[in-house]
Structure 1
Amino acid sequence: MNSTYVDLSNGFEDVIISFKPDSNEHTFPVFQYSPVNVQGPGCPVDPSEVTLPGCSCLSHSCISESCSCLQTHGQAYTSDGSLLSTNVSDVGPSTPVFECNALCACSDSCSNRVVQRGLRLRLQVSSTSGRGWGVRALQRIPHGTFVCEYAGEVIGFEEARRRQLAQRSEENNYIIAVREHAGSGSVTETFVDPAAVGNIGRFLNHSCLPNLFMVPVRVHSLVPRLALFAGRHIDVEEELTFDYSGGYRNQTPGQPRLAQTDAAIQASRTLQRKACHCGANNCAKFLPLDLSILN
């Protein structure tokens, strides 16, 4: 048996994701690696299509005084690429992030290009105790650093609902539902499922006291990329986790983000709640279940 580590991404990432494939503890899932989102059933827009306008900056890195992108959407990153707004609440940062894109005239090293550069950290997928596979850092990660995306198939609401209801009790639910609230009560929903097509993000475990938080970041398309940033300084060998319900630190354990309708409550009774083994003092005992998909 092969006892050496291999690259989980098969060269799709610029940085090797080390993984030891001969573990006898857990069966490794079969999936297609993709570093970015792909269009799935029910998604009307190809996430790879460039639909956002670009700036005309000819400088090495954009500045807010002259960049139309920064003037329209605001500055999201420091000069070294760290997220400026890391003061997250139960529902995450409220300020949307827009990066410069393929139509912008600025250089690829512009400080407003972070998530689109892809994985830059040394990470490892390894077996955990009682929680299947997990991801750990092989280097120190400063607070506010972009870590990785949660990438997969972008699907529609009905497809997300169909997949969730069709899951067997022993299967993992990878679907993440992100809801962004705009003015006049409008809500934008994005559903990402990395079960069949996905990246390293699919191996991140849930924690009720996580060290990562998720931010929707728009690059070339209106379809957001679900970027995970360090919520605090992360040490070498520390496991990387995020809250599957979208909260960070102060979320009340077990509290759903949206009101439960009778239909959602009835449908949830057909799904077996999975126990949470994060070990945090505020552990909710069960993994979050997005009941709004079941409406």
Structure 2
Amino acid sequence: MDAGRRGVDVSGGSESVPVVVGRSSTASTPPDFQYSPENVQGPGCTIDLSEVTLPGCPCHSHSCLPESCCCLQAHGQAYDSTGTLRDIKRTDTAYSSPVFECNALCACSDSCSNRIVQRGLRLRLEVYRTRNRGWGVRTLEPITHGTFVCEYAGEVISFDEARQRQLAQKSEESNYIISVREHAGTGGVIETFVDPAMVGNVGRFLNHSCLPNLFMLPVRVHSVVPRLALFAGRDIDALEELTFDYSGGYSNQPPVELLSTKSDAAMQASSTNGLQRKVCHCGAKNCTQFLPLDLSVLK
């Protein structure tokens, strides 16, 4: 990515909507990285992310209906007819139902209301230099509660690779790695590690807030590997900075489960010598004063 000019599209044309650099960000330019709208296979990831591994529905219609679509019957209807997330209250608890979208094997149209995250970025976002938190992201248009905003995309890596990268980080460097822990119905646990430091999308510029306006949900489209989708937790005004809670919570206080039952892998990584807590500058009334040692969300 070459972000040497103000107003440049940091996505390099890979998004359907340009992601511009704020015209007031003259002091410096965003760091170089390879822009990718979606997750890519990284070290230690044994799954081909381009392979379609989920079954499709036979719905030959403009948009799938719950009474006839096997995808919606199996996994539930996550979005309404406008593509807005239906169960907003899912953000108030530590656990939520998984979201599955129709995929490449489905017979429905690309405009099906169960195809939201896979359509990619649809909002006008701007990467800009904040006053005291480095680079951030703000929206150039109002966003309605429950709207899909963007992914947190990057390299999908193994725990060993994530731990190795954390240990190699210098104190002044940012930790972009996020750990997602999902509880399967059989009692098993699925962990996904995503690092957008070297390969990633606009999500890598999102700052933490103890009182965020976005929340994250794992969404599966074509692959069993989830895409980390960020939705608006409330109505958001134009030019407002977009933030999410790096610990995975979304409320005035992160849910107790999110604080006390972090993934074993994330706990090991965050307790390793050499990882120091950084001061939080979000300015929220409920600010915990320090950023989470690791980025983790449990679903």
TM over 0.5: yes
Match of 1:284 among 277, 281, 288: 288
Aligned in 2, Cα 1:66/1:205: closer, same or farther, shift over 3 Å?
Answer: same
1:243 partnered with 2:245 = yes
Match of 1:51 among 50, 53, 66: 53
Q: Per-residue CA shift, 1:79-124, capped at 9, x if unaligned?
A: 0000011113465551100000000000000000000000000110
- Select between 20-29 and 74-83 the one with higher mean Cα deviation: 20-29
Structural RMSD (CA): 2.4
The SS at the match of 1:177 is strand
Contact map agreement 1:18 1:125 (CA 8 A) in 2: yes
Contact map agreement 1:87 1:93 (CA 8 A) in 2: no
Contact map agreement 1:268 1:291 (CA 8 A) in 2: no
- Superposition map of 1:185-200 within 5 A: 185-200=187-202
Number of the residue aligned with 1:132: 134
Contiguous gaps of at least 5 residues in structure 1: none
Number of the residue aligned with 1:86: 88
Aligned in 2, Cα 1:171/1:102: closer, same or farther, shift over 3 Å?
Answer: same
Q: Per-residue CA shift, 1:223-246, capped at 9, x if unaligned?
A: 000000000000011000000111
Following superposition, the deviation at residue 212 of structure 1 comes to 0.2
- Select between 126-135 and 266-275 the one with higher mean Cα deviation: 266-275
Matched to 2:284, the amino acid is A
Following superposition, the deviation at residue 18 of structure 1 comes to 1.2
The SS at the match of 1:135 is strand
**Whole-angstrom distance in 1 between the partners of 2:215 and 2:157:** 22
Matched to 1:251, the amino acid is P
**Whole-angstrom distance in 1 between the partners of 2:61 and 2:190:** 33
Following superposition, the deviation at residue 144 of structure 1 comes to 0.1
Contact map agreement 2:171 2:275 (CA 8 A) in 1: yes
Alignment TM-score, normalising by the size of structure 2:
0.91
- Superposition map of 1:60-75 within 5 A: 60-75=62-77
**Whole-angstrom distance in 2 between the partners of 1:267 and 1:97:** 31
**Whole-angstrom distance in 1 between the partners of 2:96 and 2:144:** 22
Match of 1:155 among 154, 157, 167: 157
**Which aligned runs of 4 or more in structure 1 are off by greater than 6 angstroms?**
none
The SS at the match of 1:64 is coil
**Whole-angstrom distance in 2 between the partners of 1:221 and 1:259:** 22
Aligned in 2, Cα 1:123/1:152: closer, same or farther, shift over 3 Å?
Answer: same
Contiguous gaps of at least 5 residues in structure 2: none
Contact map agreement 1:86 1:93 (CA 8 A) in 2: no
Match of 1:108 among 85, 89, 110: 110
- Select between 190-199 and 43-52 the one with higher mean Cα deviation: 43-52
Number of the residue aligned with 1:35: 37
Alignment TM-score, normalising by the size of structure 1:
0.92
Q: How many residues align?
A: 291
Aligned in 2, Cα 1:265/1:239: closer, same or farther, shift over 3 Å?
Answer: closer
Number of the residue aligned with 2:228: 226
**Whole-angstrom distance in 2 between the partners of 1:291 and 1:149:** 15
Following superposition, the deviation at residue 286 of structure 1 comes to 0.9
Q: Per-residue CA shift, 1:270-295, capped at 9, x if unaligned?
A: 21211110001111111111399xxx
Matched to 1:287, the amino acid is L
Contact map agreement 1:91 1:246 (CA 8 A) in 2: no
**Whole-angstrom distance in 1 between the partners of 2:106 and 2:120:** 18
**Whole-angstrom distance in 1 between the partners of 2:95 and 2:28:** 35
Match of 1:95 among 94, 97, 106: 97
Contact map agreement 2:83 2:113 (CA 8 A) in 1: yes
Aligned in 2, Cα 1:287/1:256: closer, same or farther, shift over 3 Å?
Answer: farther
Aligned in 2, Cα 1:168/1:21: closer, same or farther, shift over 3 Å?
Answer: farther
Aligned in 2, Cα 1:259/1:127: closer, same or farther, shift over 3 Å?
Answer: closer
**Whole-angstrom distance in 2 between the partners of 1:265 and 1:155:** 14
Contact map agreement 2:181 2:263 (CA 8 A) in 1: no
Aligned in 2, Cα 1:29/1:92: closer, same or farther, shift over 3 Å?
Answer: farther
Q: Per-residue CA shift, 1:138-172, capped at 9, x if unaligned?
A: 00000000000000000011111111111110110
